[in-house]
Structure formats: structure tokens, C-alpha cells
Amino acid sequence: MSLHIDAKPGDVAKTVLLPGDPLRAKFIAENFLEDARLINSVRNMFGFSGTYKGVPVTVQGTGMGMPSMGIYSAELIQFHGAENLIRIGTAGGLSEKLGLGDVVMALAASTDSNWASNYELGGQLAPTASWKLIKLAEKVAGELGIGLNAGNILTSDLFYEPNPDWWRKWQKLGILAVDMEAAALYMNAAYYGANALGIVTISDNFVTGEGVTIEERQESFTNMMEIALNIAVELK
């Protein structure tokens, strides 16, 4: 039983875009989808379904943090038949080579969370994206002429870290950026048998101190949206 998504049977497409911000979901529905309709409004975490280039697509907000992403991705897969889940969100850059608005594909998502301990593995799980979606993202980004950085990111439980230099040790290990959701998505997808990919846009940079406005976060990062939407077309 889906407790947080009240979509009806058949409302959810097999490919779902997952922005953290429900208003970004609304923006995508209004600006990219044809015949978009609201399929979920529980707790104002909006979800919409429509078509893009004739292909059914759903976009569902997930909120912030791994627990929230965990709820929505699990319900989408278990109760609504989602097969391909693509996170499209913002991230903080940990490399001086990443500028504001640059797009990063998360091949893997390291984390400081204790999430994987629930699987009782007796070791450490490396949450990774699905190779199928990685290949399609590279193909689509090339066709669209969008630069795509790829590598390991960090999914952190904390937005406000008590130590201002916390990120430097992760940076030394080659971590490109930090978000708060990708690792949960990757682990849920692995556990429930779905494909997952995180495509994030740099909204601030820990090295340079640059950042964007709230409005720019919601509406101006369209490159990652177009990549994800065109992946859905390839998966039709």
C-alpha cells in the first residue's frame, strides 16, 4: 500500500524523474511535458505525468534527504511499477573545475549515512548507478551538446556541518560534489530491482564560495532536465 503517493493504477510511467523540490516537478510538467496532469499531491509533494516526444514520463518530487528519497523511490518501485528512476537535483561542488550550472552524473554515491547497515551485510556497500542509464546519459548529453562530468559524489545526512572544513577529506579522495539523496536512491533501486541514475547540477561550490539564488535552483537548471527526459525517450 502506497502511503505517500496517491496515484491511481497506470498513472505512473515506467521512467520517473525525481527532483527534490516539488516546485521543480511542477516547472518540468508545465514547461516540458505535454498533457501533464497532477497525479499526486499528498503533503504537497507534487507528482505529474504526461508525455515527452510522445513517450510517457512521470516527474515526482522527493523532498530533501535520504529518508524522504527512500520513501518515494521505494513506493514508486514497489507499488507503482517504476522501472527507471532518475534523480535530477542540485549539488555542492567539491572541485574548483566545476562551475555553477555544470552537470554531474553520479557513477557512484559514497555516503556518511548508516543506511546500508540495515541490510546486515557484514561489510560496506558501494551504491552505484545503473550501467544502462549511464550509457544512455552519455549518449543523450553528447547529442544535445551538453557537457557532462562523471564520477563519485557524496550523499550526506547533514546540510549544515559543524566542521566548516569537513568536505576537504572527501575532496582529496576525488569526490566531485555533495548531495543528500543519491545514495538512498541507488540502494533502494538495487534492493527492489530497478534502474537508477543521479544527474545533478552544481548550485554552489565549496572551493570557490560561489552560489545561485533559490529561483535559479528551481527553474534555470534545464540541462539536467533535458538529459533525463531524453533518456526516457531512449527507454520507450
DSSP E strands, the chain:
15-18, 34-40, 47-52, 55-60, 84-93, 103-111, 148-155, 177-179, 195-205
What total of structural domains would you count in the chain?
1
Arithmetic mean of pLDDT over the chain: 96
pLDDT score at 215: 77
The span from the CA of 126 to the CA of 116, in Å, is 9
Model pLDDT for residues 211-230, shown as the tens digit of each residue: 998 877 767 799 999 999 99
Residue 105 has pLDDT above 70, yes or no: yes
Q: What percent of the chain has pLDDT over 90?
A: 95
- Cα 73 to its chain centre, rounded Å, is 10
pLDDT score at 218: 67
Residue 20 has pLDDT above 80, yes or no: yes
Give CA separation, 236 vs 54, 140, 193, 202, in Å. 9, 14, 19, 29
DSSP symbol at 20: S
Looking up residue 119, the CATH number of its domain turns out to be: 3.40.50.1580
pLDDT score at 147: 97
Query: Any catalytic annotation for residue 204?
Result: yes
Instruction: Answer yes or no: is 46 within a domain.
Output: yes
pLDDT score at 9: 95
pLDDT score at 83: 98
> Structural domain of residue 168, as residue ranges?
15-234
Model pLDDT for residues 139-174, shown as the tens digit of each residue: 999 999 999 999 999 999 999 999 999 999 999 999
Confidence of residue 93 (pLDDT cuts 50, 70, 90): very high
Instruction: Answer yes or no: is 10 within a domain.
Output: no
Instruction: Answer yes or no: is 205 within a domain.
Output: yes
pLDDT score at 216: 76
Instruction: Answer yes or no: is 7 within a domain.
Output: no
Instruction: Answer yes or no: is 3 within a domain.
Output: no
Instruction: Look at the pTM and tell me if it is higher than 0.95.
Output: yes
Which position among 6, 157, 165, 204 bears the catalytic label?
204
Confidence of residue 11 (pLDDT cuts 50, 70, 90): very high
Instruction: Answer yes or no: is 4 within a domain.
Output: no
Helix locations, the chain, DSSP H:
22-31, 66-80, 131-144, 167-172, 182-192, 214-219, 222-234
Instruction: Residue 125: count other Cβ atoms within 10 Å of its Cβ.
Output: 16
- Look at residues 32, 7, 96 and name the one whose alpha carbon lies nearest to residue 233: 32
Instruction: Answer yes or no: is 8 within a domain.
Output: no
Contact 200, 88 (CB under 8 A): yes
Contact 147, 124 (CB under 8 A): no
Average pLDDT for residues 12-25, to the nearest whole number? Answer: 97
Contact 21, 76 (CB under 8 A): no
Instruction: Answer yes or no: is 5 within a domain.
Output: no
